[in-house]
Amino acid sequence: MERAKSPRSWFLAVLVALVLPLGAALAQTEAPESPEPTVAISDFMGNWQGMGVLETEDSLFFAMNRRDLDVTIDGDDRRFTVEWTTVRRSGDDPDAPEIRRESASLTFSPADHPHVYEASSSESPLDGGTMSWARLHGQTLSVYQMAITEDGGYAVSTYDRTLLDGGDMALRFVRLQDGQPVREVNGQLSRVSP
């Protein structure tokens, strides 16, 4: 494999070299291909509110592990904004918790491939920034944020927002650091306004 190839073809060639030759054996273990989206960005529009739980062994017993969730998705297929707020309780006293409110907003436009979107504020991790993008697959809108950590490793945060058959939205947030999950929150939200 010579360096004269473009970086895109180099990466794909490496990926193919690493992943594809294993054939049937790998086909059984590789993460399944992403299904084509059965929903559109417009189906996610509106303000959603609900609750999430930080996944730990004793999640159900501690109010500190609960999060109030709020997300607003606005725009259309060509440009949309996802704005979310998480309210969490911390501190040593469950009766008088410290309330922490964290908000973020990302605006996405279509990238080169169908159902893939790039955030306007996305920055190169090689320059110390956070790269943000999104994709539609199945009934899920996934938002990803990736950065290089201070120790030179990496962290990827994934927000999977899945439209449920009953009309609610399921949220699964996972933060991976150097391949290992360091935080996971699962929740459910209802649309409170279109």
Partner 1 sequence: MTRRLILAVFLVGWLPFTALADEPIEAFYGVYVGSAEVFDGDGNVVEERDLEIEIGAGERGAIHIRWSNVTLVDGRRDVPGVEWRLQHLSMVPRRGDGLFIEDTRGSLFSGRRDIEVMGGDALRWGRIQDNSLDIFAMGVLDDGGYVLQSYARRLTDIGLEIEFRAYRNGNLIRSILGQTVRVDG
Q: Which residues form the interface with partner 1 (CB under 8 A)?
A: 1, 3, 7-8, 10-12, 14-15, 17-19, 21-22, 25-26, 28-31, 33-34, 111-113, 115-118, 122, 124-126, 131, 133-137, 142, 144, 146, 148, 151-154, 156, 158, 174, 176, 178-179, 181
Cβ proximity to partner 1, 103 vs 149, nearer residue = 149
Q: Which of 119, 161, 168, 171 is nearest to 139 (CA)?
A: 161
From CA 142, how far away is CA 156, in angstroms rounded?
Answer: 12
From CA 87, how far away is CA 68, in angstroms rounded?
Answer: 5
Cβ proximity to partner 1, 51 vs 182, nearer residue = 182
Cα angle vertex 112, ends 43, 154, to 5°?
Answer: 90
Q: Least CB distance from residue 94 to partner 1, whole Å? A: 32
From CA 134, how far away is CA 119, in angstroms rounded?
Answer: 8
Cβ proximity to partner 1, 29 vs 90, nearer residue = 29
Cβ proximity to partner 1, 113 vs 193, nearer residue = 113
Q: Least CB distance from residue 135 to partner 1, whole Å? A: 3
Cβ proximity to partner 1, 152 vs 194, nearer residue = 152
Q: Least CB distance from residue 7 to partner 1, whole Å? A: 5
Q: Least CB distance from residue 113 to partner 1, whole Å? A: 5
Q: How many helices (H) and strands (E) does the chain have?
A: 2, 10
User: What is the enclosing helix (H) or strand (E) of 137?
Assistant: strand 131-137
Instruction: From residue 58, give the alpha-carbon distance in Å to each of 35, 65, 83, 96, 115.
Output: 34, 9, 30, 20, 38
Q: Least CB distance from residue 39 to partner 1, whole Å? A: 14
From CA 119, how far away is CA 99, in angstroms rounded?
Answer: 29
Cβ proximity to partner 1, 56 vs 124, nearer residue = 124
From CA 71, how far away is CA 18, in angstroms rounded?
Answer: 39
Q: Least CB distance from residue 139 to partner 1, whole Å? A: 15
